[in-house]
Amino acid sequence: MKRVYLLAVVAIAVAAALGVAIAKHSGYVLIAYGGFRYQSGLWAALAALLVLVLALLLLRWLVGLVLTSSGVVNPWSRRNRSRRVRVAIEQGQLDLAEGRWASAQRHLHRAAEAERQPLLYYLGAARAANEQGRSEESDNLLERALERQPQAELAIALTHAQLQMDRGDSDGALDTLLVMHERHPHNVQVLRLLQRLYRERGDWPALIRLLPDLRKGKVLAPPELAELEQRAWGQNLGLAATRGEDAQTARQSLERAWQQLTSAQRHEPRLVLAYAEQLRQVGAEGEAEQVLRSALKRQYESHLARLYGLVRGEDPLRQLQTAEGWLKDHPQDPSLLLTLGRLSQQNSLWGKARDYFESSLRMQRNPETCAELARLLAGLGETERSNQLFQEGLGLLDERLLALPLPQAVQA
């Protein structure tokens, strides 16, 4: 209230001062131009000028109001264009997340063409096109993205490689990734996609060459990298055994692949198992027996003990005695008991073989053990028991067979 009174007093004072000024100093304004002549009092001219300024301001406000209103109504106005782009972005992203690929491609493509930074929208539209099997449209969208944002070459290439892998074009994906690996050798995502692609293609030698980069770039967690490394070297041993026209050259190729491993790797049970299995496949069973015996002497592994019973060493009796020595420390290992049964058979010790097989079965119902004991009993003339074990082994191979319906006569 005090402020109102103060303003009123100030207004009265200004009006009084203005009135006194007008009364004492009336003045005049003269405007002459050619034949035109205008003369007026000073204060009247100032009042007219003030009215003109206020009229111009009012006119400007009215024009702005009209333009704003037309912008709301006019579908081609800048305001409405921005709104349509926002709607396209929101709807396109929602469609992409929910798998409505055609709608997602349409909305995201529209948003990409309208935005100054269109990369994410082009990538989304390319993915939507790829999901519809429109690989050519997908590639064209990525090319358009590269034209608009050439600095995003790596991101676009990674997306392209991923889409190529998804559509089964592993050759195209490999070409794309190799180019990016040459230009960006330390990029983690390039390395991750490359190792995944090599695994899918079964290109284990190439994956082995990539392992140092994977380790240096910390692309995978240490346990995952160790698992991948062992698998790659193990698969490489298998490939090496298939090279060569005869067993001799295949064995030489296998030996070279084994020597490529480090000393620590040659002590890894999984790699020893792969190496011994390949030696067995190329006919070098004596060498396989020596490799397994040395490995089991260093560190006992049940899988190695099982394979030891499948190779034929130079001295079968000594091989059996060696395996029986492990039984003292591992009497509850069903795989070792299975191996002892097999080695006893190699030495024609039928009773001992039967005892070992039955002991293994008491600890673990295994189809291999069932089959071995069934074969032995068939040879010993115990046909009924042999048939029972064959049937049990078959059921253990695939327990789903037991759920299948049988003819009534068989069920009875």
Residue 359: both structure tokens together:
């002991």
Residue 94: both structure tokens together:
């929602």
The identity of residue 277, as a single letter, is E
Query: In whole angstroms, what is the distance from residue 109 CA to residue 125 CA?
Result: 6
| Closest C-alpha to 260, from 248, 249, 275, 246 | 275
Q: Residue ranges per domain, the chain?
A: 85-149
| pLDDT given for residue 59 in this prediction | 85
- Name the DSSP letter for residue 132: T
| pLDDT given for residue 175 in this prediction | 95
Residue 270: both structure tokens together:
């999984």
| pLDDT given for residue 329 in this prediction | 92
Dihedral (C-alpha) 221, 223, 225, 226: value to the nearest 10 degrees?
A: 160
| Closest C-alpha to 161, from 145, 180, 177 | 177
DSSP string, 62-121: HHHHHHHHHHHH-TTSHHHHHHHHHHHHHHHHHHHHHT-HHHHHHHHHHHHHH-SS-HHH
Ranges of residues in the chain whose predicted pLDDT is under 70 = 15, 17-30, 34-35, 37-39, 41-45, 64-80, 244-245, 398-412
Please, which residues have CB within 8 angstroms of residue 239's CB and are 6 or more apart in sequence? 204, 205, 257
Q: What is the largest CA-CA distance in the chain?
A: 147
Gyration radius (Cα) of the chain, Å: 44
CATH 3.40.50 fits domain 85-149: no
Query: In whole angstroms, what is the distance from residue 355 CA to residue 220 CA?
Result: 48
| pLDDT given for residue 308 in this prediction | 93
Q: How many helices (H) and strands (E) does the chain have?
A: 21, 2
Query: In whole angstroms, what is the distance from residue 265 CA to residue 410 CA?
Result: 53
DSSP string, 152-167: GHHHHHHHHHHHHHHT
| Closest C-alpha to 298, from 277, 320, 326, 267 | 267
CB contact at 8 A, 125 and 108? yes
Query: Nearest 5°: phi and psi at 75?
Result: -70, -15
| pLDDT given for residue 412 in this prediction | 40
CB contact at 8 A, 378 and 393? no
Query: In whole angstroms, what is the distance from residue 55 CA to residue 202 CA?
Result: 82
Query: Nearest 5°: phi and psi at 202?
Result: 70, 25
CB contact at 8 A, 349 and 341? no
How many CB atoms sit inside 10 A of residue 389's CB? 24
| pLDDT given for residue 73 in this prediction | 46
CB contact at 8 A, 193 and 202? no
Query: In whole angstroms, what is the distance from residue 150 CA to residue 270 CA?
Result: 47
Query: In whole angstroms, what is the distance from residue 196 CA to residue 140 CA?
Result: 25
| pLDDT given for residue 6 in this prediction | 79
- Name the DSSP letter for residue 400: G
CB contact at 8 A, 275 and 237? yes
